[in-house]
Amino acid sequence: MAPEPFLSPPPTGHVNPHAKSDAELTRADWKYIGWAVTDKARREASAFNHPVTIGKDGWVVRLWPDGREERVKPISRLPIPPGNGQHGE
């Protein structure tokens, strides 16, 4: 029996990213695209018995196809250093 997906699809239909420019995509469109890409990567990793790495409850966590969760390390909350490519620097 396959484990349940850790993400459920957002309440929008299929988005054809070629039908709109990036500026025309709505927040719901981007949410759906993000969900679809993440879900596809999770299914492909599971097919090869590889874990999926996510952030959960302040930890880097590996989700294994058998349902196991492995805490890898705490997520560091360090400030972003200057010169990170943001505008105005």
Q: Looking at the whole model, is its pTM more than 0.75?
A: no
Q: What is the pLDDT of residue 1?
A: 43
DSSP state of 27: H
Q: What is the pLDDT of residue 69?
A: 94
pLDDT tens profile 4-63: 445 555 555 565 656 667 777 888 888 888 888 888 888 888 889 999 888 888 899 999
Cα-Cα-Cα-Cα dihedral sign, residues 27, 33, 34, 35: positive
Give the residue-averaged pLDDT of 62-71.
92
* Tokens encoding 22: 């990036």
The residue among 87 and 77 whose pLDDT is bigger is: 77
